[in-house]
Amino acid sequence: MEAELKELLHDIEALDQSLTDSSHRASIDKLRSHVERLTSLGKSGPIRRLKVQDMSAEVVDSNPYSRLMALQRMGIVKNYEKIREFSVAIVGVGGVGSVAAEMLTRCGIGRLLLYDYDKVELANMNRLFFRPEQAGMTKTDAAVQTLSDINPDVFLESYTLNITTVQGFETFVSSLKNKSFCPSKEGSGVDLVLSCVDNYEARMAVNQACNELNQTWMESGVSEDAVSGHIQLLIPGESACFACAPPLFIILFSISVLFFLSLNIKYVYHKWRCDTYLSPLPPFGLGCGIGVDERTLKREGVCAASLPTTMGVVAGLLVQNTLKFLLNFGNVSPYLGYNSLKDYFPTMQMKPNPQCSNVACLKRQVITLTACGNDKFYLQKEYILAMPARDAALRAKMEAEDLPATEGPLHADNEWNISVLGDNELDSIDAASSDVLPEGLVRELPSADEPQKLPTLEAPLTYIDDLEDLRRQLDALNSN
C-alpha cells in the first residue's frame, strides 16, 4: 500500500509538470496533500507500548502513570506504586465487570483474574468496553485482547468457566489460592474478589468460595430496570455475607416498587425478565395500601433494560471502593446504593447473621467474635456454636446407616459443645443483630427460614435404602 501511494504521488508530480495550464494547479495540490496524508496515516499504524519497569512520577507525555502518581504528590495516596503488588479477581466480565477491569488496568493493577463463560454479542453493544468486531469471541478472550493493548504491564489471567458448577467452582477456588504472583503475601492468592455477575446463583457461589477462603470481596449489581445499583463490601465473619440476609433492593421511586409490593419478592439481577405465569405468592402488597392488583402486573416477556450510564457509574463506584481498600485511603463503604431517578445514595452497614445458613460464614463469625474477646458477644457466639447440632444430627443419621462420618471441610469442627438456646434468648440475639434498613431499601428475598428444627426423636430418620437400589427403582419407572 505504501509503495502504491508513492507511485500515485509520483504520477501526480508528473501530471503537474506536464500541464501547462495553471488553472488545474489548485486541484492537483489538493490531490497531492490528500495522498501525503494517507501515506502518513498508513505509517502510524497500531503501536504497542512497551512494558514499564518502574512506575515513574515524571511528568512527560510518554509516561502512562504520571497522572496516577500525582495522587501521591497531592497527598491522597501514600504509595501508589504499591498497586502493582495487588491481584484482583473479577467474576463476570459483563457491563460492570468489563468496565471495572478496564479501570483497574488503566490504574496499573498488578494482576487481574477474569472469569466468565459467556460470549460477546451485538446485544451487548449498548454497554461500554466490548466492540462490535469482538462479537462471537468469549468475553474473557475479548477482554484480554483489549486490556493487554491498553496496559501490557498488567498480568492477565482468564478463565472461561461457569463458577456455579462443581468443576467450575473447583477451578475458581484453586485459581484464587494460587500464590505464585506474590508468594510473600498472607492470605489467599488474591487481594480482593469483585463480583460483577448478574444472577443470584453465581453470587452465592462467590460467597461460598470467599467464606471458605476467608477472602474479602465486593459485590455489585444493577437493577433490571437499569436505574439503580449497589456495591457492597463483604468481609467474612465481620460483615454480613451474601447468605446472611436476602439481597437488598432499592425500591424508592422506582417502578419496581409495584412489582416488589405485589409479587412481594423477586430477583432483579437478571438479563431477561419473564412475566409471571402464575403468581405463587399471596398479594401481600394489597394490605399495604398500594392497591395494585397483581393480575394487572402480568406482562409478556420483557427484556431486562440496561444503560451504559448506570453500569458505568456502578463500575466506577466499585473500583473507587477497591482503590480505597487496596491503597488505604478515604473511607471504604460497606454498602452504597445508587438510585439514578432521585440521585439517592443510601449507605449502611450489615452485621453478620448468627443464624446464617452458610456454615463457612458461621465459622468465620466465631473466629471474629473470639478474636475480639468481648463478653458482649457471648450469647451470639454460643448461639453460633450451637449450629453444629444440625451436623451432629446428620452424623447420627449417617451412623444409623453405618456410613463413615465425613470429616469434610464443612464438618471439620464438629467438636463444639452443643447447646440450643430458647426462644427468649433467640429474640435477644435478633434484637442485637437486626439491622435497621435505611429508607427506601427493602429485602429482595425473604430471609431463609433457618435455623432448622433438629429432627426430633419422635420422628426417627431411617435410611435403609441403598443408593443403587433407588437408582434402579427410578430407572425401572423411567423405562416404561
Catalytically annotated residues: 303
Give the residue, chosen from 77, 93, 107, 241, that forms a contact with Zn ion under the rule CB under 5 A: 241
Smallest separation (angstroms) from other proteins to the CB of 239: 18
Selection from other proteins, Zn ion, none that 141 binds (CB < 5 to 8 A by kind) is none
| List of residues 6+ apart from 293 with CB closer than 8 A | 262, 283, 286
Please list the alpha-helical segments (H only) found in 184-330: 200-213, 256-263, 308-327
Selection from Zn ion, other proteins, none that 126 binds (CB < 5 to 8 A by kind) is none
Closest CB to other proteins among 42 and 446? 446
Inter-residue contact 165 to 238 (CB < 8 Å): no
Find cell 489471567 and name the residue: 157
Smallest separation (angstroms) from other proteins to the CB of 292: 13
Find cell 461460598 and name the residue: 208
Asked if 356 interacts with Zn ion (CB under 5 A), we say yes
Asked if 209 interacts with Zn ion (CB under 5 A), we say no
Closest CB to other proteins among 104 and 429? 429
d(CA 242, CA 236): 10
Smallest separation (angstroms) from other proteins to the CB of 472: 10
Q: How far is CA 107 from each of CA 58, 153, 154, 182, 475, rounded to the nearest angstrom?
A: 16, 10, 10, 19, 57
Pairing verdict, β 155-159 and 111-115: parallel
Per CB under 5 A, contacts with Zn ion among 50-109 are none
How many of the other CB atoms lie within 10 Å of CB of 163?
Answer: 26
Local structure of 150: helix, strand or coil = helix
Give the cell for residue 316. 466506577
* DSSP track, 357-418: S-HHHHHHHHHHHHHHT-GGGHHHHHHHHTTHHHHHHHHHHHHHTTPPPP--GGGTTTTSPP
Q: How far is CA 383 from each of CA 243, 372, 429, 430, rounded to the nearest angstrom?
A: 17, 17, 9, 11
Closest CB to other proteins among 256 and 322? 256
Local structure of 138: helix, strand or coil = strand
Smallest separation (angstroms) from other proteins to the CB of 450: 8
Selection from other proteins, Zn ion, none that 60 binds (CB < 5 to 8 A by kind) is none
Contacts of range 462-468, beta carbons closer than 8 Å, 24 or more positions apart: 462/400, 463/397, 463/400, 463/401, 464/401
Closest CB to other proteins among 50 and 467? 467
Stretch that binds Zn ion, among 8-16, 239-247, 316-324, 460-468 (CB under 5 A): 239-247
Closest CB to Zn ion among 241 and 323? 241
Asked if 384 interacts with Zn ion (CB under 5 A), we say no
Widest CA span of the chain, in angstroms?
115
Smallest separation (angstroms) from other proteins to the CB of 365: 17
Give the cell for residue 68. 496516577
Asked if 361 interacts with Zn ion (CB under 5 A), we say yes
Per CB under 5 A, contacts with Zn ion among 242-271 are 243-244
Selection from other proteins, Zn ion, none that 270 binds (CB < 5 to 8 A by kind) is other proteins
Phi, psi of 245 (to 5 degrees): -140, 145
Asked if 206 interacts with Zn ion (CB under 5 A), we say no
d(CA 467, CA 477): 15
How many of the other CB atoms lie within 10 Å of CB of 36?
Answer: 13
Closest CB to Zn ion among 134 and 358? 358
Stretch that binds Zn ion, among 2-10, 174-182, 350-358, 435-443 (CB under 5 A): 350-358
Which of 77, 343, 65, 366 is CA-nearest to residue 228?
A: 343
Selection from Zn ion, other proteins, none that 178 binds (CB < 5 to 8 A by kind) is none
Please name every residue paired with 111 in a beta bridge, in sequence order, or none if there are none. 87, 155
Selection from Zn ion, other proteins, none that 356 binds (CB < 5 to 8 A by kind) is Zn ion
Phi, psi of 184 (to 5 degrees): -75, -15
Selection from Zn ion, other proteins, none that 263 binds (CB < 5 to 8 A by kind) is other proteins
Closest CB to other proteins among 31 and 263? 263
Give the cell for residue 460. 426417627
Closest CB to other proteins among 236 and 285? 285
Asked if 387 interacts with Zn ion (CB under 5 A), we say no
Smallest separation (angstroms) from Zn ion to the CB of 375: 23
Asked if 323 interacts with Zn ion (CB under 5 A), we say no
Closest CB to Zn ion among 87 and 216? 216
Selection from Zn ion, other proteins, none that 74 binds (CB < 5 to 8 A by kind) is none
d(CA 334, CA 256): 24
Smallest separation (angstroms) from other proteins to the CB of 467: 6
Smallest separation (angstroms) from other proteins to the CB of 452: 4
Smallest separation (angstroms) from other proteins to the CB of 456: 11
Selection from other proteins, Zn ion, none that 437 binds (CB < 5 to 8 A by kind) is other proteins
Stretch that binds Zn ion, among 78-86, 147-155, 163-171, 359-367 (CB under 5 A): 359-367
Q: For binding to Zn ion (CB under 5 A), which residues are involved?
A: 241, 243-244, 356, 358, 361
